[in-house]
């Protein structure tokens, strides 16, 4: 049997049935539990040297910023309000106190910017590369509900915020989590916002996850995807022999929003960032690409942990 992150997650979910008080379990961007009369949403992200950052090239402050921002992007994916964070680190033994301080300066500055207090965690050291694990606790914004991956319907407009591709040029460290934009979408679209997630593993991979969670398909429009390409994606395409479209579909770590909504509600939406419709939901299954030459099935080409 082949390995793969998604395959493992599905197996774990079967072993861990949703218990009492759990509204959302394994398989979405955050879990949701009831605590008294309140709903509490929880996410966790582990970042590792050599996979998510490179301590030989990236300053500790930028690494710390990314570590918290990645979990805040999960809050954006569900349009909820981040409140508190817990940070656990495995520091390399050769690191200095100054490096550790810089790491936490990046974490704390990001926490202040999003009004998400760091309230605890754990600190270890070892003779291995840096590992950071961040838990964020969140709550629904007043008057809105968390947006899940599973609500997309055939006929929905499929949209993205920002630009895509080329994140390795720096965006993957310095992106701004779309917490405010997600809040605005949920507030303005209401029940017309049917599904949403963040783009962390590449559009081709994450669109397939959104389609599978919702039980329908997605048709992406090639021209709209090319219009959404970042300047970095275009520069990389000129150098590495891959097309701009490949970068848009497969680079990953864009940390933008992928959302599906009733198209009747979209014309009046204004956000603090660019957004565009890049496709539509269909009654079929899987992800398809519509171009001038026809329609073809898209395979996942983005990132997946533990492949083999």
What tens-digit pLDDT sequence spans the chain (308 residues)? 577 787 888 888 888 877 788 999 998 999 999 999 899 999 999 999 999 999 999 999 999 999 999 999 999 999 999 999 999 999 999 999 999 999 999 999 999 999 999 999 999 999 999 999 999 999 999 999 999 999 999 999 999 999 999 999 999 999 999 999 999 999 999 999 999 999 999 999 999 999 999 999 999 999 999 999 999 999 999 999 999 999 999 999 999 999 999 999 887 788 999 999 999 999 999 999 999 999 999 998 887 776 76
Q: In terms of residues, how long is the chain?
A: 308
Phi-psi region of 234 (alpha: psi -120 to 50; beta: other; left: phi over 0): alpha
Nearest CA among 224, 246, 94 for reference residue 166: 246
Q: Report residue 126 as tokens.
A: 């070892």
Which residue reads 């039980």 in tokens?
A: 215
Cα torsion angle, 132, 169, 5, 280, sign: positive
Q: Which domains does the chain have, with CATH numbers?
A: 5-140 (3.30.1330.10), 157-298 (3.90.650.10)
Report the distance separating Cα 120 and Cα 149, nearest Å.
30
Direct distance between the N- and C-terminal alpha carbons of the chain, in angstroms, rounded to an integer = 9
Q: Determine if the pTM surpasses 0.85.
A: yes
Alpha carbon separation from 125 to 34, 85, 134, 248 (Å, rounded): 35, 20, 16, 38
């Amino acid at each position: 049997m082949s390995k793969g992150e998604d395959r493992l997650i599905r197996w774990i979910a079967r072993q861990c049935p949703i218990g009492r008080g759990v509204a959302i379990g394994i398989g979405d961007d955050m879990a949701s539990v009831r605590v008294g009369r309140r709903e509490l949403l929880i996410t966790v992200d582990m970042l590792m040297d050599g996979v998510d950052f490179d301590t030989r090239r990236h300053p500790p402050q930028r690494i710390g910023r990314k570590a918290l921002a990645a979990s805040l992007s999960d809050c954006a994916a569900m349009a909820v309000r981040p409140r508190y964070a817990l940070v656990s680190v495995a520091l390399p033994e050769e690191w200095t106190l100054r490096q550790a301080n810089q790491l936490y300066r990046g974490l704390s500055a990001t926490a202040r910017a999003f009004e998400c207090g760091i309230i605890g965690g754990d600190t270890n050291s070892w003779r291995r590369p840096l590992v950071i694990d961040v838990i964020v606790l969140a709550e629904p914004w007043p008057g809105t509900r968390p947006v899940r991956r599973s609500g997309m319907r055939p006929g929905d407009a499929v949209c993205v915020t920002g630009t895509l591709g080329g994140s390795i040029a720096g965006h993957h460290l310095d992106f701004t989590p779309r917490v405010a934009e997600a809040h605005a979408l949920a507030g303005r679209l209401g029940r017309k916002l049917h599904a949403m997630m963040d783009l962390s593993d590449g559009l081709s991979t994450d669109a397939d996850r959104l389609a599978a969670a919702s039980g329908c398909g997605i048709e992406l429009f090639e021209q709209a995807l090319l219009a959404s390409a970042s300047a970095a994606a275009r520069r990389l395409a000129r150098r590495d022999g891959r097309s701009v479209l490949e970068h848009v579909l497969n680079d990953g770590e864009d940390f933008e929003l992928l959302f599906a909504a009733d198209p009747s509600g979209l014309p009046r939406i204004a956000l603090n960032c660019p957004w565009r419709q890049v496709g539509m939901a269909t009654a079929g299954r899987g992800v398809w690409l519509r171009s001038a030459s026809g329609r073809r099935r898209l395979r996942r080409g983005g990132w997946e942990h533990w492949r083999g």
